[in-house]
Amino acid sequence: MTTYDIQELMVPASSGDAAGGDFADSLEIMAASEAEAYATDELHQTAAELLPFWQDLANPRRLFGVKIDGVLVARGVYDWLVDETTTAYVRVDVLVDFRRRGIGTALLDHLEALAHADGRNKLITYAASKDAAGERLDSPTGFGSLPLANADVRFLLGHGFTLEQVERGSRLPLPRDAEDLRARFAAASARAGDDYAVHHWLGGTPQRWLADMAMLQTRMSTDAPSAGLEEPEDVYTVERVVDNEQKQSTSRELLTAVVEHVPSGHLVGYTTLSLPLGEPRPVFQDDTLVLREHRGHRLGMLLKVANIAYLEAERPGHPSIVTWNAEENRFMLDVNEAVGFEPMGYEGAWKKLL
């Protein structure tokens, strides 16, 4: 059996150092995996755009790679939450021409050994899975399935992972009809009533809403459907919100819509769009959340169309918005489908207990 030298790769300290080198090469390997699974290159982001996610002190990440003849051909990612002690998140990507040589297994074994050494007993991974004919592996949630013959599915099953959830990637072509957005906003506003008000901003969160946004982003980790993954709470503080927004501002711009519960004066929902600075490339729909206790008032639709209209008014010219949702999250998928999002592809959310 061939053995491989697994190297820990350096993560750049600043966006100016992100281009070129092993870090950028590792992201190109990830991009190739996603382009293969989703049959599009619209998901590609630059190293400078992705670097801020590697600099979140509350969610540290380590990067590993395998080189053949000096060329990086595979990468492994290991990350965790500093306030949680049981779960590690892992990911392995191997260039298509270097698969079935044991490289992915070597990387996954290395990541699992790190989890053991850290005293963590659960691994979670997300793997995009291209559509294919044949027998399917059903999600235990009863929503969604993956092609059983796919290499990613066989690989994870063979290494002791269980499928817990299927997520749908969706794409919204732009521009949208402005009159349709106004009509949907008006209908959702009428359903919500006077107890709820929409606000939005471009860039960093205003001081007035920072504490509420920290609460909402924390609740995103517990209120969104996670099936049998039993995702740990990911705690956000005001300082973490500000730090993450500042880091992202060097390469991407955030457009945020929020809904205020007027009687209490607090935010109860939000949605964020992330777009590349000065470039007409696809927009990423980041989090969308309405607190459980305020659902049933069409606030999800209200937020979604408000932010799409805000994007079209403030930053027109992007070709699409892309987003991901759990297949069992029918409420949000119903909202997306009504607005015009179409399925783009699927990924599995997998768990392994050590």
Local confidence band at 31 (pLDDT 50, 70, 90 cut-offs): very high
pLDDT surpasses 80 at 1: no
Instruction: Examine residue 329 and state whether it is found in any structural domain, yes or no.
Output: no
In this structure, are 221 and 311 located in the same domain? Answer: yes
SS3 93: strand
pLDDT tens for 228-257 read 999 999 999 999 999 999 999 999 999 999
* CATH code at position 72: 3.40.630.30
pLDDT tens for 72-109 read 999 999 999 999 999 999 999 999 999 999 999 999 99
Where do we find the tokens 């963590």? 120
Span 279-286, average pLDDT: 95
Local confidence band at 329 (pLDDT 50, 70, 90 cut-offs): very high
Span 196-218, average pLDDT: 98
CA angle 35-38-43, nearest 5°?
55
Span 215-224, average pLDDT: 95
In this structure, are 180 and 44 located in the same domain? Answer: no
Instruction: Examine residue 32 and state whether it is found in any structural domain, yes or no.
Output: yes
**Sign of the Cα pseudo-torsion (91, 94, 95, 99, in order):** negative
CA 50 from chain centre, in angstroms, equals: 12
In this structure, are 278 and 253 located in the same domain? Answer: yes
Which uninterrupted H or E stretch holds 330? helix 330-339
Burial class (CB in 10 A: 0-12, 13-18, 19+), 250: middle
In this structure, are 148 and 193 located in the same domain? Answer: no
In this structure, are 103 and 180 located in the same domain? Answer: no
Q: What is the reported pTM?
A: 0.95
Domain that holds residue 94: 6-166
Instruction: Examine residue 71 and state whether it is found in any structural domain, yes or no.
Output: yes
pLDDT surpasses 80 at 346: yes
Instruction: Examine residue 187 and state whether it is found in any structural domain, yes or no.
Output: yes
In this structure, are 62 and 150 located in the same domain? Answer: yes
In this structure, are 180 and 158 located in the same domain? Answer: no
In this structure, are 162 and 105 located in the same domain? Answer: yes
In this structure, are 189 and 308 located in the same domain? Answer: yes
119, 138, 166 — which closes off a domain?
166
Residue 163: strand pairing partners: 350
Per the structure, how many domains does the chain have? 2
In this structure, are 157 and 197 located in the same domain? Answer: no
Instruction: Examine residue 339 and state whether it is found in any structural domain, yes or no.
Output: no
17's tokens: 């150092």
149, 166, 183 — which closes off a domain?
166
Instruction: Examine residue 125 and state whether it is found in any structural domain, yes or no.
Output: yes
pLDDT surpasses 90 at 18: no
In this structure, are 162 and 179 located in the same domain? Answer: no
Spatial distance between the Cα atoms of 177 and 108, rounded to a whole number of angstroms: 46
**Sign of the Cα pseudo-torsion (28, 33, 34, 38, in order):** positive
pLDDT tens for 291-301 read 999 999 999 99
In this structure, are 95 and 183 located in the same domain? Answer: no
Residue 11: strand pairing partners: none
